[in-house]
Structure 1
Amino acid sequence: MTKSRPKPAHKKADTSISRDGARLNLWKEPKQLGFGVIGDSENAKAILELWSKLNQGKPKKEGKGFTLNELIKPCRELIYDERDGKIIFHAISHYINPDALNIEVGQLFEISSSDDDRTDEEEAIDILAIAAMEEVPVFPNQSEFLPRLTELHRRLLTEGFTAPDGKGNRVRLKFSKRPTIEFLEVGRLQEIDCTITIFPAEIALIRDVALREIARLTRAESVLLALDRGIEELEYEINVSTRNENAIQRCITRNPILFGVEYVKILPKHRLGSEYEMDYAGQRFDGSYDLIELESSNLPIYTKSGNPSSQLTHAEQQVLDWLAWVEENYPYAAQSLNGISNPKGFVIIGRRADMSDSSAEKLRRRNIYWAGRISILTYDDLLNRAKLIKARLTADLGDLNSNASTDEPFAVR
């Protein structure tokens, strides 16, 4: 892949400095970089003649011409570019200016596609591998080329590269010491060895990982703030001395996060045809739906004699009617609740603090009886489950004193 198309030499998939070694080890032995001379003046010819004289009698390397490694090794940097849809690397290298006898740095040659069977991108990955081994940084010529360069570098780190095996074939290699997944996973960034050269494409990979993590944390912080607000408001509304049921419903409508973090959206006052109006319909990330009925927090769930209250059975029947309507009118229901199928129903009613132990046990058994088709929750359950979700998100369950039932968790199925 060079203008004069020398074949790349075999190179071990490694860097010249160990991950746990000192960078100074890289320079224990001087590197023979070779040199170029610009122009064809008499001075240039004299320098080349002197070089030839000094190297007379020294053993010559096998093969013809320079290998690609030898061409890239003395480069100050490579510049990734694209021309007519083809990948090109501009080699910025040291050379001697014979007229001033100065060592200068400039564009000395280009590396472009060869005529073998590899694709343009495969050859580019092999060039990036050589540059990494020789610690020659590769920069995009323009910012618009950075995404493709970064993707090629990611493939280099994850898929490896090819090199000739000395028998006319190419073998696939991967770096054994240079960081790979450390650039791709936020939890591994701290493992990156800062004694090695970090390339612009790797910085871009790190940046992408960091930005994704920042976005994730920002979303998590937003969820936690919403949970905090909803928990605080609901706790106040259900514990105030004179409860206002309208205020409780406004609180829940204002803080749909109380239903859980698994919902794509919560639809208040959703109608099922002309027959029914639900308090809420919740669509989960998996596409399933929950149909939610709110009853007053002041209503009893069981009577003093231990029977289910008429308010509870009425709410259950209302949810059963919704579920039956969806089943019987599925094509119509799916127009407004996209993909709704076999929804679950929830009834939120009463206070757990107003229930006796025997009533609480009956409610537990009643939820088991409904087998998840319908779940009955108190407002205390709704509040405590929101607190539990917050505790799980913060990875600190602590001594959360939850009186919520152990039935199927609301918003965690």
Structure 2
Amino acid sequence: MGRLDDNWKEGKRFLPILSGEDEGFKKLFDEKTNRINRDNYEGHGFAWEIMNNCQEIVLGYEEKVGYCLNLVLRSIDMKTFEIIVEAALQMQCGEDINKVRDIIGIAMIKDVPVFGDTIELHENLKDIQSSIIKEGFTSFFDGEEKRVKITRFNDFDLNNSKEILKNLSCSHLITPGEIRIVNEKISSDFRQYANAAKFIDSLHLVIKEFSELLKSKTRNENQLQEYITRNPILFGTEYKSIKPKHCLGSEYEMDYALQRFDGIFDLVELESSSLGLYTKDGNPRAELTHAEQQILDWQEWLEEKNFYAREYLKDIRSPKGFVVLGRSESLNDDLKKKLARRNLTFGNKLQVLTYDDLLNKVETFLEIIKKSN
């Protein structure tokens, strides 16, 4: 069925509005109208009936009456028999915004355009219509108040801008509320895409700058470590900051603490990038074992001082430890396997990384993002 058959094949009966002073004619007309109303509008409220004859509604606000809905109607001038289109009826709602919403909901079902009398009221109207689309409204049927949901909005996935646009129907009036929902969602998507693009650009920059620092023949260890503290993404996406000189009670002071987005801290020991991890004989260097022991001592202290930690160090709970030392290029295949076994031995308590491993973390993450898009 098309719009012509759906809407106009059998015609529509409108509740007429009369203008002029011919009381006899008006009485005769009213009797016929009442008979039509009883036959065709049984169980429906006045708002449903009058909406069929409504050209548009203007949402206004008056100091003495509050919110008011001004209905522009077609009326018959009883003297000239001209059809007049005018703001013939005002429905006063006071400060009851729910009443306003319920009447506008009927207008949306009847495809009656609604406008705000001022820019501010038009913005209010968008909010009202948006809430009707999302939540519905209430109306009376056979004397009983019921919740009404406009059927054409049942398939609206408000989290999917493509689906919202797809479900906007050319066979119905598109309301300011629908436009607002589309605008808000598309704007939100655009901000997300813009933020994602900005994030990807930042990953490219970190990779470029950190690579240059590592390649520099005259690299400065302090500069390298300062760069790491400014870019916690090198340790993973779950970290938002790196805090130097973080105290564990009065007994220990960590070189660095990694703070996750949930506020919890992990432990970090940054050693020199110019040091090797193993001796020529394949034994772990003293700097490596010292850094590992430092992390293990901190973790043991936290377990022993469990009560103190829960009371005063609430953001440090079973922290994971990282030791960052040396370059991957100093490791042959056998030493790489030995380091992998060493990390497996520590399990989730401790992980030994080279400075190149930090760089690889970011490069791998960037590749995953690119493939997912």
TM-score, structure 2 normalization: 0.79
Q: Provide the secondary structure at the position in 1 that maps to 2:17.
A: coil
Q: 1:73 — aligned with what?
A: 52
Task: Give 1:149 shift.
Answer: 5.2
Q: Does 1:188 align with 2:163?
A: yes
Question: 259, 270, 279: which one pairs with 1:303?
Answer: 279
Task: Give 1:145 shift.
Answer: 5.7
Task: Please tell me whether the aligned partners of residues 272 and 333 of structure 1 are also in contact (alpha carbons under 8 angstroms).
Answer: no
- Show structure 1 runs of 5+ residues with no match: 1-20, 114-118, 398-413
Q: Does 1:200 align with 2:160?
A: no
Structure richer in helix, relative to its length: 2
Q: Provide the secondary structure at the position in 1 that maps to 2:151.
A: coil
Q: Provide the secondary structure at the position in 2 that maps to 1:177.
A: helix
Distance 1:244 1:56 in 2: 93
The one-letter amino acid of 1:93's match is V
Q: 2:368 — aligned with what?
A: 392
The structure with higher relative contact order (CA 8 Å, sep 6+) is 1
The one-letter amino acid of 1:71's match is I
Q: Provide the secondary structure at the position in 1 that maps to 2:18.
A: coil
Q: Deviations over 1:318-357 (max 9, x none)?
A: 222333455538758976x763322221111122232122
Q: Does 1:212 align with 2:193?
A: no
Q: 2:87 — aligned with what?
A: 106
More deviation in 255-264 or 287-296?
255-264
Q: Provide the secondary structure at the position in 1 that maps to 2:87.
A: strand
Question: 303, 324, 343: which one pairs with 2:319?
Answer: 343
Aligned length: 367
Question: 61, 67, 70: which one pairs with 2:39?
Answer: 61
After TM superposition, list the pairs within 5 Å mapping 1:189-338 onto structure 2: 189-195=164-170, 196-272=172-248, 276-326=252-302, 328=305
Task: Give 1:217 shift.
Answer: 2.4
Distance 1:84 1:324 in 2: 71
Q: Deviations over 1:298-333 (max 9, x none)?
A: 222222322222111111122223334555387589
% same residue: 33
Structure richer in strand, relative to its length: 2
Distance 1:47 1:180 in 2: 49
Q: Provide the secondary structure at the position in 1 that maps to 2:39.
A: coil
Task: Give 1:259 shift.
Answer: 2.9
Task: Give 1:161 shift.
Answer: 4.0
Q: Provide the secondary structure at the position in 2 that maps to 1:249.
A: helix
Q: Mark the CA change 1:56 to 1:148 in structure 2 (over 3 Å): closer, same or farther.
A: closer
Task: Please tell me whether the aligned partners of residues 182 and 192 of structure 1 are also in contact (alpha carbons under 8 angstroms).
Answer: no
Q: 1:132 — aligned with what?
A: 108
Distance 1:151 1:184 in 2: 17
TM-score, structure 1 normalization: 0.73
Distance 1:309 1:65 in 2: 88
The one-letter amino acid of 1:109's match is Q
Distance 2:56 2:178 in 1: 15
Q: 2:329 — aligned with what?
A: 353
Task: Please tell me whether the aligned partners of residues 272 and 278 of structure 1 are also in contact (alpha carbons under 8 angstroms).
Answer: yes
Q: Provide the secondary structure at the position in 2 that maps to 1:181.
A: coil
Task: Give 1:120 shift.
Answer: 5.2
Distance 2:246 2:141 in 1: 68
The one-letter amino acid of 1:213's match is D
Q: Mark the CA change 1:58 to 1:293 in structure 2 (over 3 Å): closer, same or farther.
A: closer
Q: Mark the CA change 1:84 to 1:57 in structure 2 (over 3 Å): closer, same or farther.
A: closer
Q: 1:410 — aligned with what?
A: none
Question: 140, 164, 169: which one pairs with 2:144?
Answer: 169
Task: Give 1:85 shift.
Answer: 12
Distance 1:235 1:162 in 2: 63
The one-letter amino acid of 2:364's match is L
- Show structure 2 runs of 5+ residues with no match: none
Q: Mark the CA change 1:164 to 1:210 in structure 2 (over 3 Å): closer, same or farther.
A: same
Task: Give 1:102 shift.
Answer: 5.7
Task: Please tell me whether the aligned partners of residues 58 and 70 of structure 2 are also in contact (alpha carbons under 8 angstroms).
Answer: yes
Q: Mark the CA change 1:224 to 1:264 in structure 2 (over 3 Å): closer, same or farther.
A: same
Task: Please tell me whether the aligned partners of residues 59 and 70 of structure 2 are also in contact (alpha carbons under 8 angstroms).
Answer: no
The one-letter amino acid of 1:383's match is L
Distance 2:367 2:118 in 1: 47
Task: Please tell me whether the aligned partners of residues 80 and 87 of structure 1 are also in contact (alpha carbons under 8 angstroms).
Answer: no
Q: Deviations over 1:72-124 (max 9, x none)?
A: 233233344567899844133124484884623325221538xxxxx956555
